[in-house]
Amino acid sequence: MPNLSETLGSLLKDIANSRVKSDLFSRDASLEYFKDPVLRLFPVPRVEIRSADLELTFAVASARQEDVKTSDVARSVFSQNVSSLRSRLLSVPARAARSARKAETLDALLGGEQEKVRAELDKRLDAFMTEKADALSEQLIQDPDAFARTLGGAAARILRDVMATTGVRPVFTADLQKEVNDRALEWSRSTSGQLKQALTRARAEAFNLDLAVTKDDLVNLPQTAVARVKVTVEIQNYEWIETEDEKGETVNKLVVA
Amino acid sequence: MSRRRLRRMGRFQMDEPTPLKLLGAHLVRELEKLKALGSDGSGARAFHLKEVEVSIPFAAQSDAAPAPIVLGDEEPLTAVEAIARLDHLKTAAFVEVGRIADAPVDSIAVLRLRVKF
């Protein structure tokens, strides 16, 4: 059974195509008018469709909801946002050694090893979240602050492990852990909203209506059971123009009239 | 249409009532697909969707008379505004024609959605 976009799309394309047929008729008529000494003095008839209103009645034959797995949507959201988590974590201030006077961001401390560490952090953070997506996705939706506590601990461990593979050994203090927790909290709150939106979109994508649109389907239905859609469209008119491409060659192009 | 045919049409119907938030989001998505169909690159087939009003009846889960739900009554909403407004809808109801035709008239109301493009 058809859905709404297919049904209306087919009708609207027919309206646009009817103007094409009308123009072809006008072309033939203009040649006839040209041949006749009297008709030549008359304007050639031509139909111009600028806009159209359409009303369609239909009934919802069935509504179907396919399963949407929260953890699948969460895996995708985690992977899309892992680089933003990594950037936040590497913006944490740290000292290169206990004796160092000045703290710098972890990213700045990495010097020439930035790219390698960024890639490794992305991989490890993504693996942590996607492997436990079933449990973590529910926690991120229900309680992003609790999720942030889980993430803060794991992120600090991952940071320490990855940093250990480099020539830079920042000092991991309680202050640094607090900064990591704060970054995890910011990220969790923002990503929780994104996950909820992505789930709404995925559920809408997985929901479908089959419509009954034929006369036979609708003829004896009570009016209270009939759905309606009213559509207002502008018919877009195009014309050919001659223009130059980037090489200076003449090309023909369709533009809105 | 006969009751038998109605039942046949509703053979895949959801046993559970449909969250109207989901129904509305689906309708907005369909309208966005329709808008995309209007600009398929072929000049002869182009149309520009300006405004759409969809009215879909629903039957409440109980016999209590539900209020109509109208979004974009005074001014049509953009697709983004419509989705945001739909997000607050908590109602779930039966939307298949088989269910509505069998429902008491007082338990039927309409979800009306006006969207501009």
- The span from the CA of B29 to the CA of B26, in Å, is 5
Contact B1 A200 (CB under 8 A): no
Residue of A nearest to B99 (CA): A225
What ipTM was predicted for this assembly?
A: 0.86
A-chain CB neighbours of B83 within 8 Å are 200
Are A50 and A77 found together in one domain? Answer: no
Question: Of all helices (H) and strands (E), which one includes residue A56?
Answer: strand A51-65
pLDDT exceeds cutoff 70 at A135: yes
Let me know if residue A220 belongs to a domain: no
Q: What's chain B's average pLDDT?
A: 85
A-chain CB neighbours of B53 within 8 Å are 228-230
Residue whose tokens read 């929901």 = A207
Are A155 and A118 found together in one domain? Answer: yes
Closest-CA distance of chain A to residue B8, Å: 9
- The 10s digit of each residue's pLDDT in B50-94 is 999 999 999 998 877 899 999 999 999 999 999 999 989 999 999
Please say whether the dihedral angle defined by the alpha carbons of residues A204, A208, A214 and A215, taken in this order, is positive or negative: negative
A-chain CB neighbours of B45 within 8 Å are 13, 16-17
Q: Give the β-pairing of B92-93 and B18-19.
A: antiparallel
Let me know if residue A140 belongs to a domain: yes
pLDDT at residue B111, rounded to an integer: 97
Contact B25 A204 (CB under 8 A): yes
Are A52 and A80 found together in one domain? Answer: no
Contact A227 B54 (CB under 8 A): yes
Are A84 and A181 found together in one domain? Answer: yes
Are A100 and A175 found together in one domain? Answer: yes
Closest-CA distance of chain A to residue B56, Å: 5
Domain finish residue from A204, A219, A244: A204
A-chain CB neighbours of B50 within 8 Å are 51, 232-234
Are A13 and A47 found together in one domain? Answer: yes
C-alpha closest to that of B44 among A252, A16, A11: A16
pLDDT at residue B10, rounded to an integer: 46
Let me know if residue A217 belongs to a domain: no
Q: Which of A142-146, A177-181, B4-8 has the lowest average pLDDT? A: B4-8
Question: Across the interface, which of A15, A59, A64 has its CB nearest the CB of B12?
Answer: A64
Contact A17 B44 (CB under 8 A): yes
- What is the edge-to-edge ordering of all strands in the sheet holding B47-59? A207-212, A51-65, A227-235, B47-59, B108-116, B69-71
Are A100 and A173 found together in one domain? Answer: yes
Q: pTM (2 decimals)?
A: 0.71
Per the structure, the complete domain to which residue A20 belongs is given by 4-58+230-256
Q: In a 3-state reduction of DSSP, which class is residue A211?
A: strand
Let me know if residue A185 belongs to a domain: yes
Are A88 and A120 found together in one domain? Answer: yes
- The 10s digit of each residue's pLDDT in A217-257 is 898 888 999 999 999 998 877 777 888 888 888 888 777 66
- The span from the CA of A13 to the CA of B40, in Å, is 11
Let me know if residue A182 belongs to a domain: yes
Are A103 and A157 found together in one domain? Answer: yes
B-chain CB neighbours of A17 within 8 Å are 44-45
3-class SS string, B87-100:
CCCCCEEECCHHHH
Q: Is B48 exposed, middle or buried (0-12, 13-18, 19+ CB in 10 A)?
A: middle
Domain count, chain A: 2
pLDDT exceeds cutoff 60 at B45: no
